[in-house]
């Protein structure tokens, strides 16, 4: 029993070391400020920590984390839509090192175009092409059918193309 | 910068993710370097049929279909999904380059544990609350959930006869003590020696009654008479008789409450289940927690034994130490008892006097009897049983002990019987503590009237928590 706990704890540590950055970037693609991204990723790890007794495989752990990040990002956006639209979240002090990266992100045309997409489309594209998940995995993570994933993906790419073209 | 890369992706992307690119461009093989050929890719709708192994391909294949739907875009440059992947990677490449924060995992663990703890507490509290509500609904009004809630939440305080004007340290009250100066207990399991097991456990009684199908007996349904019958070897034996006036049910074990004027009963008196090895002469009632269904005129009994604890030898020097009235409670709690007992000084001479009363529904005290102990006491109690099923203990030899008080009066806090100090042969100098009291007279019912030093002295002397 104790070894199980140790194993899962180590798994969590390893996952944290290896995938924290990619999860942070995933959140950055889904969200629009870095402070929220860090909160979201940290929250995802907290939840995984609570569920670590149930999740013992690295793949599933990562999938769980990604799904949690997507869901939390969605909630964050929704919350912001509801109430915090007027007050954009200030950048946290600790993230000063990331500010440059964040500023670059703000100027990135692709990112801007991505943010203009519908939420579902954006999620599908990011999971599909940034996280390199299969359509089936994306469908599982987003709770959609594979057909919907295909549709969102194709329309998302189309819309992205239009937006990029408009930005030129 | 990524703008160009994304839009003009294909030429550059062909270097990095050529595979993906070429696959997506499978709709138009020749077009690797040529992006702007929207028309060419539009025809890829047909080319999309070359479903290759990667699902990514299918999305790409879908693109021209969508585009076909919208003629407007037909002339736009193709967006290559392989390049999209690369462009996305590049866009966020600068984020998180420092790696995961070093203290992050520690922080995550700490928060996760705190959250789990909080969840446990919340779930437990909700469960208890739910149980209490269910029980109160099922048993009607005969069960008061307030003490349960206060016990669970740890608020303490809400005891019965709150006559204390002094500041009760409600913040530090543990659930063990129901209020200053009270022991409202009894659900001690065998061998457990400690003050007051909280009222949360008392709540179990009504739920046991539910099965009987009869309403629980309330204080108004019963005529109870508590009496001290005999004293054998310094131990006072008494019993409580209760007669039902209407059909109702009662569950054991009986719940007792002990009060004293010095308000330190919670730390100085222990209530225990009677077991054969405890040395008392109580009858051996085999049940513990039985349920009796009574019809009008039927009754039940239970017995108790009051064994005063022996005072420590050096208790004669307790006088001077008690001069600080406020800190008396702290000194009085010696045996791990809760420090709920503050120094609400009751300047009475009856510091060794306790009122023991039976709580029918675990909330309403009835007919207290007065008992003496200078340095705390241990109470042994039997379960309830049908009237007369077990004999009362009889004195073996000629012990000159007339049975003292027997009151069936209302549970007034005063209840000052004639001081039976002579009849209760406390082994220790029971007059030591009262002798330091400033109020020489007997004023048991005025707790906060005269904050004299005598009570604090009594605190320290009686507060030596019951020995084994």
Q: What DSSP line would sit under B196-255, residue for residue?
A: ---HHHHTHHHHHHHTTTSPBP-GGGEEEEEEEEEEETTEEEEEEEEEESSSEEEESSPE
Q: Is the dihedral of CA A137, A140, A146, A152 positive or negative?
A: negative
Which of B302, B297, B301 minimizes the C-alpha distance to B244? B297
Cα angle, residue B418 at apex, residues B414 and B421 outer, rounded to 5°? 110
Closest Cα of chain A to B112: distance in Å? 5
- Tell me, yes or no, whether B6 and B133 share the same domain: no
Mean pLDDT for the stretch of residues B110-134:
89
Higher pLDDT, residue B91 or B61: B91
**B188 and B295 together in one domain:** yes
* Structural domain harbouring B37: 2-91
User: Does B270 lie in the same domain as B204?
Assistant: yes
Query: Cβ separation of A129 and B85 shorter than 8 Å?
Result: yes
Whether pLDDT at A149 is above 80: yes
Q: What is the pLDDT of residues B278-333, one digit of tens each?
A: 878 888 888 887 888 888 888 899 898 888 887 776 544 444 443 333 333 333 33
Are A46 and A86 a contacting pair, CB within 8 Å?
A: no
CATH of domain A108-168: 1.10.10.10
What pLDDT, on a 0 to 100 scale, did the predictor assign at position A90? 54
- Token pair of B372, please? 């003496």
Q: How confident is the model at residue B398 (pLDDT cuts 50, 70, 90)?
A: very low
Which sequence spans correspond to the domains of chain A?
1-100, 108-168
* Mean pLDDT of the B82-111 span: 83
Choose one of B91, B111, B135: the last residue of a domain.
B91
Q: Is the pLDDT of residue A160 over 80?
A: yes
The answer to whether residue B457 sits within a structural domain is yes
ipTM: 0.78
Distance CA B64, CA B75 (A): 11
Residue B142 has pLDDT above 70, yes or no: no
Q: Which of B91, B109, B139 is the last residue of a domain?
A: B91
User: Which of B66, B73, B115 shows the shortest C-beta gap to A154?
Assistant: B66
Residue in B2, B98, B115 nearest the CB of A108: B2
| Inside any domain, residue B106 | no
B114 domain-assigned: no
Tally of domains within chain B: 2
C-alpha span between B82 and B343 (Å, rounded): 79
Whether B50 and B183 share a structural domain: no
Q: Does B110 map to a domain?
A: no
Closest by Cβ to B55, choosing from A134, A154, A162: A134
Same domain, B69 and B123: no
Residue B72 has pLDDT above 70, yes or no: no
Alpha carbon separation from B128 to A144, B171, B188 (Å, rounded):
40, 21, 20
Whether B30 and B14 have beta carbons less than 8 Å apart is answered as: no
B148 by Cβ neighbours in 10 Å (0-12 / 13-18 / 19+) ranks as: buried
Q: What ranges in B29-71 are assigned the alpha helix state H?
A: 38-42, 44-47, 55-69
User: What are the beta bridge partners of residue B251?
Assistant: B291
Measured distance CA(B332)–CA(B415) in Å, rounded: 24
Give pLDDT tens digits for B334-384.
Answer: 333 333 333 333 344 456 788 888 877 766 677 788 888 888 888 888 888
Contact B73 A108 (CB under 8 A): no
Condensed to tens digits (0 to 9), the pLDDT of residues A51-99 reads: 877 877 888 888 889 999 999 998 888 887 666 555 555 555 545 555 6
- The domain made up of A1-100 has a fold known as Rna Polymerase Sigma Factor; Chain: A (1.10.1740)
| Closest to A115 in 3D by CA, of A143, A80, A144 | A80
Contact list in A for residue B6 (CB cut-off 8 A) is 109-110, 113, 164
pLDDT tens for B261-274 read: 777 777 778 888 88
Establish whether the linkage from the previous residue to B253 is cis, with ω within 30° of 0: yes
Structure tokens given for B296: 């009008």
Mean pLDDT, chain B, whole residue set: 59
Give mean pLDDT, residues B117-137.
Answer: 88
Q: Are residues B299 and B356 in the same domain?
A: yes
In a domain, B371, yes or no: yes
Chain B nearest C-alpha distance from A49 (Å): 6
**Most confident region among A17-31, B265-279, B402-416 by mean pLDDT:** A17-31
Tokens of B357: 């009363």
pLDDT of amino acid B349: 46
Cross-strand partners of B294: B248
Residues 6+ apart with CB under 8 A from B9: B35, B79, B80, B82, B83, B84, B86, B87
pLDDT in tens, B203-250: 345 556 666 677 788 888 888 888 888 888 888 899 988 888 888 888
């Amino acid at each position: 029993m104790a070894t199980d706990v140790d194993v899962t704890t180590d798994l969590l540590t390893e996952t944290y070391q290896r995938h924290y950055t990619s999860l942070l970037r995933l959140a950055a693609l889904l969200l629009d400020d870095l402070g929220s991204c860090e909160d979201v990723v940290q929250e995802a790890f907290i939840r995984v920590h609570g569920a670590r007794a149930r999740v013992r495989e690295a793949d599933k752990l990562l999938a769980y984390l990604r799904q949690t990040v997507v869901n939390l990002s969605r909630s964050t956006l929704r919350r912001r839509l509801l109430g915090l639209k007027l007050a954009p979240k200030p950048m946290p002090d600790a993230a000063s090192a990331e500010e440059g990266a964040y500023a670059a992100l703000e100027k990135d045309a692709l990112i801007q175009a991505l943010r203009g997409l519908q939420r579902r489309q954006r999620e599908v594209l990011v999971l599909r092409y940034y996280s390199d998940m299969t359509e089936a995995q994306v469908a599982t993570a987003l709770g959609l059918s594979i057909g919907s994933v295909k549709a969102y993906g194709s329309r998302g790419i189309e819309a992205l193309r239009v937006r990029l073209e408009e930005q030129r | 910068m990524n703008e160009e890369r994304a839009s003009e992706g294909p030429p550059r992307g062909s270097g990095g993710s050529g595979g993906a690119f070429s696959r997506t461009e499978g709709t138009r093989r020749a077009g690797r370097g040529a992006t702007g050929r929207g028309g060419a890719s539009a025809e890829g709708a047909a080319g999309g049929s070359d479903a290759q192994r990667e699902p990514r391909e299918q999305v790409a294949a879908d693109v021209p279909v969508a585009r076909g739907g919208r003629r407007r875009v037909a002339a736009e440059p193709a967006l290559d999904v392989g390049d999209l992947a690369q462009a996305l990677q590049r866009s966020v490449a600068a984020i998180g380059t420092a790696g995961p924060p070093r203290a992050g995992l520690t922080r995550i663990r700490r928060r996760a544990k705190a959250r789990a703890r909080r969840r446990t507490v919340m779930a437990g509290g909700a469960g208890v609350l739910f149980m209490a509500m269910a029980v109160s609904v099922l048993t009607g009004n005969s069960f008061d959930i307030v003490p349960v809630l206060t016990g669970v939440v740890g608020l303490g305080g809400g005891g019965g006869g709150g006559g204390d004007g002094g500041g009760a340290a409600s913040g530090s009250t543990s659930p063990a003590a129901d209020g200053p100066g009270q022991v409202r207990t009894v659900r001690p399991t065998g061998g457990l020696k400690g003050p007051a097991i909280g009222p949360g456990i008392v709540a179990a009684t009504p739920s046991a009654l539910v099965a009987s199908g009869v309403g629980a007996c309330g204080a108004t349904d019963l005529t109870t008479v508590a009496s001290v019958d005999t004293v054998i070897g310094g131990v006072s034996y008494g019993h409580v008789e209760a007669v039902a006036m209407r059909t109702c049910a009662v569950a054991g074990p009986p719940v007792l409450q002990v009060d004293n004027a010095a308000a330190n009963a919670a730390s100085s008196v222990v209530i225990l289940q009677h077991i054969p090895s405890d040395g008392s002469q109580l009858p051996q009632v085999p049940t513990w927690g039985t349920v009796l269904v009574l019809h009008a005129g039927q009754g039940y009994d239970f017995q108790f034994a009051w064994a005063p604890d022996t005072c420590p030898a050096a208790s004669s020097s307790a006088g001077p130490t008690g001069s600080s009235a406020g800190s008396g409670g702290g000194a009085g709690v010696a045996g791990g008892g809760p420090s709920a007992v503050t120094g609400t000084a009751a300047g009475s001479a009856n510091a060794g006097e306790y009122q023991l009363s039976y709580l029918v529904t675990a909330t309403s005290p009835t007919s207290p009897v007065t008992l003496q102990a200078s340095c705390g006491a241990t109470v042994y109690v039997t379960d309830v049983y049908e009237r007369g099923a077990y004999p009362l203990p009889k004195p073996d030899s000629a012990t000159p002990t007339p049975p003292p008080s027997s009151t069936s009066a209302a549970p007034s806090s005063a209840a000052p019987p004639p001081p039976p100090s002579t009849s209760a042969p406390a082994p220790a100098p029971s007059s030591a503590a009262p002798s330091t009291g400033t109020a020489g007279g007997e004023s048991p019912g005025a707790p906060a009237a005269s904050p004299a030093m005598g009570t604090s002295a009594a605190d320290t002397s009686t507060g030596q928590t019951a020995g084994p």
